[in-house]
Structure 1
Amino acid sequence: MRVMVFVKATEESEQGITPSPEVEQMFLDMGKFNEELVNAGIMVAGDGLKPSSFGKRVAFDGPGRTVIDGPFAETRELVAGFWLWEVKDMDEAVEWVKRCPNPMPGPSEIEIRPLYEMEDLADLIPPEAAAIHDGVGEKLAKR
């Protein structure tokens, strides 16, 4: 089972990284945790994200596209970092998150969301679309 693990943004993370002994320790602790995840065969990918002031959103309305510059409101709905994990089930993902050092200097949250797998969508995806998806997956695996 693949899950996306989101480190939720905080008011502090939206201000950017400010050097301090606390931040240095946080990076050290997180690096060690990432190393554990890799050694256990759990972590597929992961990284931190710059504050939303560096970001853009593209809003879709039919054929129209509107670009919205950051920063974005509702900090608690923003993501400051992510992992992509391969786990046996949601319980295993929760156990790993519980072992995670606090990803922020203050209070923070981590959200875990399962990814759709092709078998979840088998009754919805036409064979032609499934073939395209499989081809894309093969190309990505070769990268």
Structure 2
Amino acid sequence: MAKYMLIMRATDEAWATVSETVTFDEMLSTMGRYNEELINAGVLIAAEGMEDAAKGVVIDFAGEKPVVTDGPYGETKELFGGFYIIEVASQEEAIEWGLRMPMMVPGSKLEIRRVPGIDEFPQDSEWVLKEKAWRERTGQV
């Protein structure tokens, strides 16, 4: 089994389309049914939606000193809207779940990336060993 992150991204126009055509209650119901499918299949590890980008901040490390900028952002091509972490047998299975993702309209994308496990990092690293100990203490392993 491997973990995969499904990253929901959309353009400003795609977000506007969804917010203009679907009520918040309808969105909760639709996403709730999808979440329930993931839970019932035993593959859901985590899922979170993101607050409006206008309420966020960006830390830009492009210059000598980091610059913190309040939202709304300048030009946005795609916004990160939320994510799922699922544990499935293969990338193909992750793609199958991604293809079933509701609320994806033209201008939306779903990026799927594998999340490497802690055991894939050098086991003689002091920092990996510390993280493994923390994961064990917190019941994550």
TM range (shorter): 0.7 to 0.9
CA RMSD after TM alignment: 2.9
Q: Given residue 116 of structure 2, which amino acid in structure 1 is its aligned partner?
A: Y
Structure 1 runs of 4+ aligned residues shifted over 6 Å read none
Within 1, Cα distance between the matches of 2:24 and 2:112?
24
Corresponding residue SS for 1:75: coil
Change (3 A) 1:73 1:140: farther
Corresponding residue SS for 2:8: strand
The equivalent of 2:39 in structure 1 is 38
Q: Which moved more, 1:43-52 or 1:106-115?
A: 106-115
The equivalent of 1:117 in structure 2 is 117
User: Is the Cα contact below 8 Å between 2:88 and 2:94 reproduced in 1?
Assistant: yes
Percent of residue pairs identical: 31
The equivalent of 1:139 in structure 2 is 137
Within 2, Cα distance between the matches of 1:93 and 1:84?
10
The equivalent of 1:28 in structure 2 is 29
- The answer to whether residue 88 in structure 2 is matched with residue 87 in structure 1 is yes
Change (3 A) 1:22 1:74: same
Q: Which runs of 5+ in 2 are unaligned?
A: none
For 1:55-94, list aligned pairs within 5 A: 55-60=56-61, 64-94=65-95
**TM-superposition CA deviations, 1:24-59 (whole Å, max 9, x none):** 433322110110001111111112112211111223
Q: Which runs of 5+ in 1 are unaligned?
A: none
Within 1, Cα distance between the matches of 2:120 and 2:61?
26
Change (3 A) 1:61 1:90: same
Q: Given residue 96 of structure 2, which amino acid in structure 1 is its aligned partner?
A: E
TM-score by length of 1: 0.77
